Amino acid sequence: MKIDVTRKLPEHVETLVFIHEEDASLEGLEFVDEELKAELESYIKAENFSFSYGKMSSFTRMLSKKRQVIILCGVGKNADLNSSRLRSIFANCWRKANSLKSHQVYVLMSFEPVINDVILGHVLAESALLSAYKFNKYISSDEVHEIESIHLLLSTKNTRHINRGILEGRIYAEATNLARDMVNEPANIMNPESLADHAKKAALQYGFSIEIHSMDKLKRLKMDALLAVGKGSKVDPRLIIMRYSGNPDKKNQLTALVGKGLTFDTGGYSLKPGPSMVNMKSDMGGAAAVIGTMAAIATLKLKVNVVAIIGAAENMVSGEAYRPGDIITSMAGKTIEVLNTDAEGRLTLIDAIHYALEKEKADRVLDIATLTGAAVAALGHDFSAVLSNNSSWLHQLKEASDFSGEMIWEMPLHEPYKELLKSEVADLKNIGGPLAGCITAALFIGEFVQDKPWIHIDIAGQATKDKINGIYSYGATGVGVRLLTSLLRSME
Ligand code: BES
Ligand code: MG
Ligand code: ZN
């Protein structure tokens, strides 16, 4: 899709998106001739249309014997506009234009938005590419309509910053769509081995290095927690290690990103009830987020050093599978009583985190995981839960969240609840009981971060959507890519 800024309105425009403020006048607007102004006025009057935030409508008119589509879109008050609002307004405009089978779309914002130019370009590209995404590779005859080009009409402004934003927004969106593709892939196709292959392909394409450890190596490394989770599957677990050194001189600043990579989660012997299991191909959403982030930061050539680790496994039921009551020894040496085989994510994460700290010598670690139903119960589908032992790093994440529009909410890392993880027969048990499940899951992981700066992001609620809306298509959201890329950018 072509996305650019233009100073000229061509003679014939097939589709014009007119974005306007509530209660603002139509007098003296650039690119709006008397004829269009009169048509807008009469349509607005006849339909009693207001340009309040998110309002949209459309009409067609004949212009020198050619059909023209006009899409009207309200922003409310310019002063209330922010990047998230604009992203969602834009995305809904593109969806509307798409449903009207537009090919070339010209966009006229009748006011100077209170948003800096780089961000304007960024959300323009991001909204276009994210809203156009559809996972249709398994539909035999899907005739999808696609907008070919979007042109933002601007007369006076210097376009340099907007164009830079467009380039960056493209990178963010493409990396997000890469993550979406992986998460949407069903588990009969996406297993620990093929997830490693996908990561390899991304490494080659985007320019970061990768190493895959298979069974023998995992055994030698004593990654028994990861191995236990994957025991029930026909496909062995893999450890995927991706490295990007954008700042090789600063050897002491290495950030580890650890993504949960359960290619399917049946719950194991603590079997999930049917309806809770259906969406569990998305249990590698954290893994997809870190792969997408690596792709984005390598393309942006960020001056940061990052190692991304995925402990990929499939949580299945079989004669080989681990059982409730099993006691396993994690790579770190701590023993764990498995009281619920469905609390498997944390087991894979702690071995991956220990590997990141011990073998890769990471200085700080961020893990991202579709970890608990409790996070979904607490925050619903619009927020990811975050917990951290480091307030300044968390503050940076909150700013990254504002920039990216991927919303987070902090939960307390409440030390006294560690009591709930005490076992009678091992160092820890893998569940903390019915209360505060999102917090006890984080506290469990926190036992393995060696007091290094650490952020935990539970994306269980945000990883998939079952409603198409704005930038979100059906299925995977690719959540985490834009958030983590923005975070790493602030750490340059
Ligand atoms: N993958 C699930 C968490 C999940 C739930 C992700 C809903 C997306 C949507 C995770 O492995 C899990 O099963 N967690 C258990 C933990 C419990 C047994 C302590 C849960 O949340 O029920
Ligand atoms: Mg589970
Ligand atoms: Zn899981």
Averaged pLDDT, 2-12: 94
Q: Are residues 152 and 175 in the same domain?
A: no
Q: Are residues 191 and 132 in the same domain?
A: no
Averaged pLDDT, 92-102: 97
Say how many Å lie between the CA of residue 264 and the centre of ligand 3: 8
Tell me how many domains the chain contains.
Answer: 2
Determine how β-strand 254-265 pairs with β-strand 209-213.
unpaired
Say how many Å lie between the CA of residue 376 and the centre of ligand 1: 9
Closest CA to 224 of 128, 313, 148, 151: 313
Structure confidence at residue 389 (pLDDT): 98
Mutational pocket test of ligand 1: of 276, 341, 371, the residue with most ligand atoms within 8 Å of the beta carbon: 371
Tokens read off for 468: 């198409």
Instruction: Say yes or no: CB of residue 420 within 6 Å of ligand 1.
Output: no
Q: Are residues 341 and 384 in the same domain?
A: yes
Which ligand has the nearest atom to the CA of 313?
3
pLDDT-derived band of residue 252, with 50, 70 and 90 as boundaries? low
Instruction: Say yes or no: CB of residue 367 within 6 Å of ligand 1.
Output: no
Assigned domain for 164 exists:
no
Instruction: Say yes or no: CB of residue 458 within 6 Å of ligand 1.
Output: no
Structure confidence at residue 187 (pLDDT): 98
* pLDDT single digits (tens) 432-474: 999 999 999 999 999 999 999 999 999 999 999 999 999 999 9
Say how many Å lie between the CA of residue 352 and the centre of ligand 3: 15
Residue 158 reports pLDDT greater than 90? no
Tokens read off for 45: 């009057």
**Is-contact 478 176, C-beta < 8 A?**
yes
Q: Which atom of ligand 1 is nearest to the CA of 374?
A: 21
Closest CA to 309 of 250, 359, 248, 242: 242
Residue 153 reports pLDDT greater than 70? yes
Assigned domain for 244 exists:
yes
* pLDDT single digits (tens) 371-401: 999 999 999 999 999 999 999 999 999 999 9
Assigned domain for 433 exists:
yes
* pLDDT single digits (tens) 410-438: 999 999 999 999 999 999 999 999 999 99
Closest CA to 321 of 270, 260, 262, 372: 270
Q: Are residues 317 and 444 in the same domain?
A: yes
Domain endpoint, select from 156, 189, 217: 156
Q: How far apart are CA 240 and CA 200, in angstroms?
A: 9
Neighbours of 169 (CB within 10 A): 26
Q: Are residues 378 and 445 in the same domain?
A: yes
* Residues found in the chain: 492
Q: Are residues 97 and 54 in the same domain?
A: yes
**Dihedral through CA 450, CA 455, CA 461, CA 464, nearest 10?**
-100
Instruction: Say yes or no: CB of residue 437 within 6 Å of ligand 1.
Output: yes
Residue 41 belongs to domain with CATH number: 3.40.220.10
Percent of the chain with pLDDT over 90: 96
**Is-contact 265 272, C-beta < 8 A?**
yes
**Is-contact 195 263, C-beta < 8 A?**
yes
Residue 297 reports pLDDT greater than 90? yes
Q: Which amino acid is at 285?
A: G
Residue 41 reports pLDDT greater than 70? yes
Q: Are residues 200 and 74 in the same domain?
A: no
Assigned domain for 165 exists:
no
Residue 451 belongs to domain with CATH number: 3.40.630.10
Structure confidence at residue 156 (pLDDT): 72
Query: Residues 260, 281, 346, 429: which is the catalytic one?
Result: 346
Please say whether the dihedral angle defined by the alpha carbons of residues 384, 388, 391 and 392, taken in this order, is positive or negative. negative
Q: Are residues 176 and 100 in the same domain?
A: no
Residue 22 reports pLDDT greater than 90? yes
Instruction: Say yes or no: CB of residue 163 within 6 Å of ligand 1.
Output: no
Q: Which domain holds residue 379?
A: 171-490
Instruction: Say yes or no: CB of residue 421 within 6 Å of ligand 1.
Output: no
Averaged pLDDT, 94-98: 98
Assigned domain for 31 exists:
yes
Please say whether the dihedral angle defined by the alpha carbons of residues 285, 287, 291 and 297, taken in this order, is positive or negative. positive
**Is-contact 383 405, C-beta < 8 A?**
no
pTM across the whole model: 0.97
* pLDDT single digits (tens) 120-148: 999 999 999 999 999 999 999 878 899 99
Q: Are residues 79 and 175 in the same domain?
A: no
Assigned domain for 162 exists:
no
Q: Is 231 a catalytic residue?
A: no
Query: Residues 272, 303, 334, 359: which is the catalytic one?
Result: 272
* pLDDT single digits (tens) 190-211: 999 999 999 999 999 999 999 9
Q: Are residues 247 and 356 in the same domain?
A: yes
Q: Are residues 356 and 231 in the same domain?
A: yes
Structure confidence at residue 64 (pLDDT): 84
Residue 251 reports pLDDT greater than 70? no
Q: Are residues 115 and 204 in the same domain?
A: no
Residue 250 reports pLDDT greater than 90? no
Q: Is 220 a catalytic residue?
A: no
Assigned domain for 161 exists:
no
Structure confidence at residue 455 (pLDDT): 99
Assigned domain for 14 exists:
yes
Averaged pLDDT, 318-328: 98
Domain endpoint, select from 101, 123, 156: 156
Domain endpoint, select from 102, 126, 156: 156
pLDDT, mean over the chain = 97
